């Protein structure tokens, strides 16, 4: 590394796709001779990969951009990503920001920075709605997660749910070519990663934009499973439409597949789903869950739920709550509806009061905690396979911890079993299960 190399600090906000892209930008910058450092005072360049999924995400993005400028007023501060794509004109007026970079220019981050130092060009946003190809220049060989690597294989969304700004920030669906994806998977396997997570903005649509190739998400999963060294394949968020008997049956025959399905719901009321422009009913959603559990009896089915959507009545909310209990999720992520300018829902009448949103959110969070604990209890006393990730101390004893295929945290006494980092270990009824949400020890087995 050259002693005069510029120091770059990156900070990520938002989803796993953003996290992957931050890692990929870091790789490009390092290869170009920049020196990477932690997000702290002393950097010459700060890059904040922003999020715009909610108003809170917008606020956090602005806060981090201003924090970067305060850490070094002479540094170049770069705003990248979804918030930039959605609010570019506003950010151009922010004196804390020197460069703005849209989602479809992240892969050119080195050129963008070099051009700025040469010509002070500060605007790098292209109309993402016209973007038709996946940015093949993006890849990673390592990850901030030491044992698990997230691999982006898809971008964009064509769904246009009435509450969501993401199709405007990410553009239309674009899928990664299979050979490019497999090249990255092989590089990660060579570097010791045993588990990969296939992710995207709308992962279920993978391959639908290929004009000549008949490739689906199932094909991508099965091809990754053939890569030597990869022992687990996990999926990011899915839409209910991709769940068919044929799809699930094929996955049940693949030993490397992790039965952890994050299946987006958003509401358990058909009237609300219709206003949201979701493409399914609760009856159809429940049928998908039954198919999953037919082939994977202990599968983790997790979901997202929005409370306080415009015009949501108390009756509609109760329908949602009853449906959530019926499905019996392993985990739920509860979001209070956030009004996003430019979306259909933002113009709807009868916006729900924040106080009511808070009350409904608290009810569902409490329900989610209860369901999560019951789900975890199913694994007590059973033989489970855990990918060891770290060492922790409980009651002055050292334990290895990691996750099952269902993403349940397992803990085993470290003494006497040697170095098990990044190894898959079978706990034969001798495990401690720790509730990941509350950190409460449900059972401390005698070992």
Q: What is the model's pLDDT at position 75?
A: 94
Q: Where are the CATH 3.40.50.12160 domain residues in the chain?
A: 7-126
Per-residue pLDDT at 361 exceeds 80 = yes
Calpha distance 140→185 (Å, rounded):
9
Q: What is the model's pLDDT at position 137?
A: 61
CB atoms closer than 10 angstroms to residue 123: 12
- Sheet order of strands, 300-307 included: 260-262, 300-307, 331-336
User: What is the maximum span of the chain, computed from C-alpha positions, in angstroms?
Assistant: 67
Stated as kind and residue range, the H or E segment containing 363 is helix 354-377
391-408 pLDDT, tens per residue? 887 777 788 888 999 998
95-149 pLDDT, tens per residue? 899 999 888 888 889 989 988 888 876 665 555 556 667 766 667 776 665 678 9
Do residues 379 and 422 make contact, with C-beta atoms less than 8 angstroms apart? no
Do residues 330 and 372 make contact, with C-beta atoms less than 8 angstroms apart? yes
Q: What is the model's pLDDT at position 380?
A: 77
Q: Where are the CATH 3.80.30.20 domain residues in the chain?
A: 148-377
For the chain, report the end-to-end CA distance as a whole number of angstroms: 49
203-248 pLDDT, tens per residue? 999 999 997 788 999 999 999 999 999 999 999 999 999 999 999 9
Within 8 A by CB and 6+ apart from 393, the residues are: 399
Within 8 A by CB and 6+ apart from 341, the residues are: none
Calpha distance 361→266 (Å, rounded):
13
- pTM for the model: 0.89
328-353 pLDDT, tens per residue? 999 999 999 999 888 999 999 999 99
Do residues 351 and 344 make contact, with C-beta atoms less than 8 angstroms apart? no
Calpha distance 129→127 (Å, rounded):
5
Q: What is the model's pLDDT at position 141?
A: 72
Strand ranges for 267-370 from DSSP E: 300-307, 331-336
Calpha distance 440→434 (Å, rounded):
6
Share of the chain above pLDDT 70, in %: 89
Within 8 A by CB and 6+ apart from 165, the residues are: 52, 53, 86, 340, 342, 343
CATH topology of domain 148-377: pyruvate-formate lyase- activating enzyme (3.80.30)
Give the CATH architecture of domain 7-126: 3-Layer(aba) Sandwich (3.40)
Sign of the four-CA dihedral 314, 320, 325, 326: positive
Q: Please give the full DSSP string across 129-182, using - where no structure is assigned.
A: GG--S--TT---S--SSSSEEEEEEEE------TT--HHHHH-S-EE--HHHHH
Q: What is the model's pLDDT at position 211?
A: 79
Stated as kind and residue range, the H or E segment containing 183 is helix 178-190
């Amino acid at each position: 590394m050259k002693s005069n190399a510029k120091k770059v600090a990156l900070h990520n906000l938002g989803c796993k796709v953003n996290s992957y892209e931050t890692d990929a930008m870091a790789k490009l910058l390092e290869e170009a001779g920049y020196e990477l450092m932690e997000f702290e005072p002393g950097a010459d360049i700060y890059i904040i990969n922003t999020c715009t999924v909610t108003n809170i995400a917008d606020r956090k993005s602005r806060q981090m951009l201003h924090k970067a400028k305060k850490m070094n007023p002479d540094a170049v501060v770069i705003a990248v990503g979804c918030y930039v794509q959605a609010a570019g004109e506003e950010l151009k007026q922010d004196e804390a920001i020197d460069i703005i970079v849209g989602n479809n220019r992240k892969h050119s981050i080195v050129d963008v920075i070099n051009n700025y130092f040469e010509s002070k060009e500060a605007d790098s946003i292209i109309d993402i709605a016209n973007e038709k190809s996946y940015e093949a220049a993006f890849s990673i060989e390592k990850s901030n997660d030491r044992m698990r690597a997230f691999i982006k294989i898809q971008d964009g969304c064509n769904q246009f749910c009435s509450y969501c700004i993401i199709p405007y920030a990410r553009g239309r669906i674009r899928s990664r070519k299979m050979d490019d994806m497999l090249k990255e998977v092989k590089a990660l396997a060579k570097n010791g990663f045993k588990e990969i997570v296939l992710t995207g903005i709308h992962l279920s649509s993978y391959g639908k934009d290929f004009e000549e190739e008949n490739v689906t998400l199932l094909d991508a999963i099965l091809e990754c499973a053939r890569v030597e060294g990869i022992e687990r394949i996990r999926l990011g968020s899915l839409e209910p439409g991709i769940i068919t008997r044929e799809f699930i049956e094929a996955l049940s025959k693949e030993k490397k597949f992790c039965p952890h399905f994050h299946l987006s719901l958003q509401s358990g009321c058909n009237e609300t789903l219709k206003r949201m422009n979701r493409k399914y009913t609760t009856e159809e959603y429940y049928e998908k869950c039954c198919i999953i559990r037919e082939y994977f009896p202990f599968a983790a089915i997790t979901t997202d739920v929005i409370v306080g959507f415009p015009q949501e009545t108390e009756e509609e909310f109760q329908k949602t709550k009853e449906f959530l209990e019926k499905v019996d999720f392993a985990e739920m992520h509860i979001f209070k509806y956030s009004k996003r300018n430019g979306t259909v829902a933002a113009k709807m009448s009868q916006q729900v009061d924040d106080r009511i949103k808070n009350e409904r959110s608290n009810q569902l969070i409490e329900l989610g905690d209860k369901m999560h604990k019951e789900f975890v209890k199913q694994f007590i006393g059973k033989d489970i396979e855990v990918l060891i990730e770290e060492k922790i101390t409980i009651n002055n004893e050292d334990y290895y911890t990691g996750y099952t295929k269902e993403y349940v945290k397992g803990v085993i006494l470290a003494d006497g079993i040697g170095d098990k980092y990044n190894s898959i270990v079978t706990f034969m009824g001798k495990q401690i299960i720790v509730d990941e949400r509350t950190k409460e020890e449900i059972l401390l087995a005698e070992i």
